[in-house]
C-alpha cells in the first residue's frame, strides 16, 4: 500500500539518512586460481521454495504467465492448470487480494511479488528476513500478502506439490551452473578480486520458469537475488551485469569523496534525453552504472570499430563516464592491483576539464519513444491511465532509494495535477530520501490540513480524503513530533489518526502505540553493518 511505503521512508528519516551498503573488502588472488561459483562464498544458482510458492499463488489468482516456458516441465504445467481451478477460503482471499493490488503493467505486478519472495524465508511461515521497517516500497505495497500466502500454502498443500516438482526445477537450475561458473571465473579474474568467507555477501540466481524473459534483480544490503526464466536463450548478459553490480556497487560508496570530486560532469550528462531519470541527480548511482558498463565492454573484447560504436552510443545516451573509465581500465589491466585497491586511481585520473572540452562536440540522442520516463502529452485522452503510469514510475525510483529521481517524477505530476495526494505522498518520501526532512514534514502537514480531493485530478486518481493516506500522515507527523520532543503535538496527531473513519487497522495500531509511549528512533547502522545508538 502507498501508505506503507511512507513507513519505510519515515524510518529512513529516523535513521537520519539512507542506509549505506556494507563495503566488501577484497584481496588479490595471489595464486591466480580460477574456480567455480561454489568456491566463492555465497554465489549459487538454485530453485527457491519461496519463489515457487509465490508464483503458485499468482497462478491461482489468474496471473497471465507464458506457459510456453513450461514445455519441458510437465509436472509444473499440470500444477498451473490445477491451481487455476482451486477453490477454498484461502484461495478466494488470495484472488481478492490480487485483484486489489494488480498494476496496469503486468511486468511491474510480477516484479512486486518476486521482490516479496526474495525477502522472505522458507515455507510454511515465510517470515521476513529483513527488518520490516527497512522493507522496500514495492514489498510494503503488498502488506498482508504474507499471511494470505501462509494460508494458501496450507490449503493448496504446496509442500507435497513442491516435493514432487522440485526435480524439474533442479534440472532447470543445472543449465545455469556452467554459465554462472564461467561468469564468476571471468569476472574475478579480470577484477583480481576474491570474495572472502567473512564478508557475509551473497549472490543467488533463482530459477523460475514462469518468470519468462523478464530478469528481476533485487539487492537488500549485501544480498543480491536474481530471478531468471528457463527459456531457450539464457539471459547471461543480464546475469553478468547483475554480478558486476554485486561486486562493484560498494566501491563508489567506499570512495565517495573521490567520486564526488568529478560530479560536475553530471551537469552535462543530465541534459541527455535518454539518460534514465534515476541517474540525472544521483552521481554516485550514475558513476556505478557507468563503471559496470565500462567493465562489461572490457570483458567483451569488442573489435575497435565495435568498441567505438558502443562508446559513441553511451555518450549520446548520457553515460559520458563510460569512455574515460574504459581508458582508465586499460591502465588497470596492466597493473598488479585488485579493483578495490585501484579504484581511487581509476576515478582520480579522470580529467574533468578535458572531458568537458570533449563533450562540447557531443549531440545527445533524442528521447526514445518507448522510454518509461517519457511523459507522452498526446495521451491526454486517457489521463487516469497515464497518471497511474507516472505514479508507478515514481514508485520505482522510491524502490531504488533514489530520492532526487523520484522527486523529479512526482513534481512533474504535481505540475499537471496540483495537490494530487499520491504524488504528494511520493514527494514526501522522495524528500526524506534526499535528506530534506523539513520539506517532507510540510507535505505531511498539507495532506492532513487539506483532505478534500483535488479538483484538477482526473477521475479515479484518488483523493486526499483517502482514510489510509490521512491516518498514516497523522501517525508519521506524530512520530516526527515525538522525535522533536513535542509530546503534546505528537499525541494530538496519534489521536487524530484514530479518529479517521475507515483508517486501516495497521495505522490504528501504530497510533495507539504512539499514544501509549513516545516513539523512539531505532539504532542507526554504521557503514560496516553494526548498530550504534
> Phi and psi at residue 465, in whole multiples of 5°?
-75, -5
Task: Check if the beta carbon of residue 295 is closer than 8 Å to that of residue 244.
Answer: yes
Rounded (5°) CA angle 365-370-374: 75
C-alpha–C-alpha distance, residues 338 and 224, integer Å: 22
Please report the pLDDT score of residue 127 as a whole number: 93
272: left (phi over 0), alpha (psi -120 to 50) or beta: beta
C-alpha–C-alpha distance, residues 474 and 477, integer Å: 5
**Alpha-carbon torsion (40, 129, 522, 410), positive or negative:** positive
HSE (side-chain half, CA atoms, 13 Å) at 74: 0
C-alpha–C-alpha distance, residues 407 and 494, integer Å: 27
Task: Check if the beta carbon of residue 407 is closer than 8 Å to that of residue 430.
Answer: yes
Strands of the sheet containing 216-220, edge to edge, are 43-46, 202-207, 223-228, 216-220
C-alpha–C-alpha distance, residues 512 and 480, integer Å: 15
C-alpha–C-alpha distance, residues 293 and 295, integer Å: 6
C-alpha–C-alpha distance, residues 367 and 316, integer Å: 10
Beta carbons within 10 angstroms of residue 198's beta carbon: 9
Please give the DSSP secondary-structure letter assigned to residue 316. H
Q: Is the preceding peptide bond at 43 cis, omega within 30 degrees of 0?
A: no
Rounded (5°) CA angle 150-156-158: 75
SS (H, E, C) 485-506: CCHHHHHHHHHHHHHCCCCCHH
Give DSSP secondary structure letters for 133-166.
Answer: GG--HHHHTTTTHHHHHHHHHHHTTHHHHHHHHH
Place of cell 553494526: 530
Place of cell 571471468: 186
Please report the pLDDT score of residue 516 as a whole number: 93
Please report the pLDDT score of residue 464 as a whole number: 42
Could you tell me the three cell numbers for 210? Answer: 514462469
Beta carbons within 10 angstroms of residue 81's beta carbon: 10
Angle between helices 467-484 and 487-499 (to 10 degrees): 170
Please report the pLDDT score of residue 394 as a whole number: 75
Task: Check if the beta carbon of residue 464 is closer than 8 Å to that of residue 421.
Answer: yes
**For the purposes of burial, counting CB atoms within 10 Å of the CB of 110, is it exposed (0-12), middle (13-18) or buried (19 or more)?**
buried
Please report the pLDDT score of residue 446 as a whole number: 86
3-state secondary structure of 532: strand
**How many helices and strands, by DSSP H and E, does the chain display?**
24, 6
C-alpha–C-alpha distance, residues 83 and 86, integer Å: 5
Place of cell 544480498: 223
Closest listed residue to residue 294, CA positions, set 278, 307, 303: 307
Beta bridge partners of 456: none
Q: Please report, in angstroms and rounded to a whole number, the separation of the first and last CA atoms in the chain.
A: 30
CA distances from 60 to 55, 79, 81, 105, 343 (A): 9, 10, 9, 19, 49
HSE (side-chain half, CA atoms, 13 Å) at 55: 29
Asked whether the whole model's pTM tops 0.85, one would answer no
Beta carbons within 10 angstroms of residue 133's beta carbon: 14
Domains along the sequence of the chain with CATH: 34-228 (no CATH), 249-359 (no CATH), 386-520 (1.25.40.10)
3-state secondary structure of 125: coil
- In this prediction, the residues of the chain whose per-residue pLDDT falls under 70 are 1-41, 66, 194-200, 368-389, 396, 399-400, 450-465, 521-533
> How far is residue 148 CA from its own chain's centroid?
23
Amino acid at each position: 500500500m502507498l501508505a506503507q511505503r511512507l513507513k519505510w521512508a519515515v524510518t529512513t528519516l529516523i535513521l537520519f539518512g539512507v542506509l549505506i551498503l556494507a563495503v566488501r573488502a577484497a584481496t588479490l588472488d595471489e595464486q591466480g586460481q580460477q574456480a567455480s561459483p561454489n568456491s566463492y562464498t555465497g554465489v549459487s544458482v538454485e530453485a527457491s521454495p519461496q519463489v515457487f510458492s509465490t508464483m503458485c499463488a499468482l497462478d491461482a489468482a489468474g496471473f497471465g504467465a507464458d506457459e510456453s516456458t513450461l514445455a519441458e516441465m510437465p509436472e509444473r504445467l499440470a500444477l498451473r492448470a490445477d491451481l487455476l481451478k482451486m477453490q477454498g477460503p484461502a484461495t478466494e482471499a488470495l484472488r481478492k487480494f490480487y485483484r486489489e493490488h494488480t498494476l496496469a503493467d503486468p511486468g511491474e505486478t510480477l516484479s512486486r511479488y518476486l521482490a516479496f519472495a526474495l525477502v522472505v524465508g522458507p515455507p510454511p511461515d515465510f517470515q521476513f528476513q529483513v527488518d520490516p521497517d527497512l522493507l522496500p516500497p514495492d514489498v510494503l505495497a503488498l502488506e498482508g500478502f504474507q499471511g494470505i500466502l501462509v494460508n494458501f500454502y496450507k490449503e493448496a498443500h504446496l509442500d507435497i506439490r513442491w516435493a514432487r516438482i522440485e526435480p524439474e526445477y533442479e534440472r532447470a537450475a543445472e543449465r545455469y551452473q556452467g554459465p554462472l561458473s564461467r561468469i564468476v571465473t571471468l569476472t574475478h579474474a579480470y577484477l583480481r578480486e576474491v570474495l572472502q568467507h567473512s564478508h557475509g555477501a551473497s549472490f543467488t540466481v533463482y530459477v523460475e520458469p514462469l518468470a519468462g524473459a523478464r530478469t528481476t534483480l533485487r539487492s537488500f544490503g549485501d544480498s543480491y537475488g536474481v530471478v531468471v526464466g528457463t527459456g531457450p536463450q539464457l539471459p547471461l548478459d543480464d546475469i553478468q551485469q547483475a554480478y558486476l553490480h554485486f561486486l562493484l556497487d560498494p566501491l563508489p560508496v567506499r570512495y565517495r569523496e573521490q567520486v564526488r570530486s568529478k560530479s560536475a560532469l553530471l551537469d552535462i550528462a543530465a541534459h541527455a534525453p535518454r539518460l534514465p531519470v534515476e541517474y540525472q541527480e544521483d552521481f554516485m548511482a550514475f558513476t556505478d552504472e557507468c563503471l559496470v558498463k565500462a567493465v562489461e565492454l572490457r570483458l567483451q573484447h569488442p573489435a575497435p570499430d565495435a568498441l567505438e560504436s558502443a562508446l559513441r552510443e553511451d555518450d549520446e545516451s548520457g553515460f559520458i563516464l563510460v569512455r574515460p573509465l574504459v581508458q582508465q581500465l586499460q591502465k588497470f589491466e596492466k597493473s598488479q592491483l585488485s579493483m578495490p585497491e585501484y579504484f581511487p586511481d581509476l576515478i582520480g585520473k579522470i580529467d574533468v576539464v578535458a572531458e568537458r572540452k570533449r563533450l562540447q562536440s557531443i549531440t545527445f540522442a533524442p528521447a526514445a519513444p518507448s522510454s518509461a520516463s517519457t511523459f507522452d502529452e498526446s495521451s491526454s485522452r486517457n489521463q487516469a491511465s497515464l497518471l497511474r503510469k507516472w505514479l508507478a514510475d515514481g514508485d520505482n525510483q522510491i524502490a531504488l532509494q533514489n530520492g532526487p529521481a523520484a522527486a523529479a517524477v512526482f513534481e512533474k505530476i504535481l505540475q499537471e495535477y496540483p495537490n494530487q495526494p499520491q504524488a504528494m505522498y511520493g514527494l514526501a518520501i522522495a524528500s526524506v530520501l534526499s535528506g530534506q526532512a523539513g520539506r517532507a514534514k510540510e507535505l505531511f502537514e498539507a495532506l492532513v490540513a487539506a483532505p478534500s480531493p483535488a479538483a484538477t485530478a482526473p477521475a479515479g486518481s484518488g483523493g486526499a480524503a483517502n482514510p489510509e493516506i490521512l491516518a498514516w500522515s497523522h501517525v508519521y507527523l506524530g512520530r516526527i513530533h515525538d522525535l522533536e520532543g513535542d509530546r503534546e503535538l505528537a499525541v494530538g496527531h496519534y489521536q487524530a489518526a484514530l479518529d479517521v473513519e475507515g483508517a486501516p487497522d495497521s495505522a490504528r495500531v501504530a497510533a495507539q502505540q504512539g499514544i501509549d509511549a513516545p516513539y523512539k528512533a531505532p539504532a542507526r547502522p554504521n557503514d560496516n553493518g553494526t548498530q550504534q545508538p
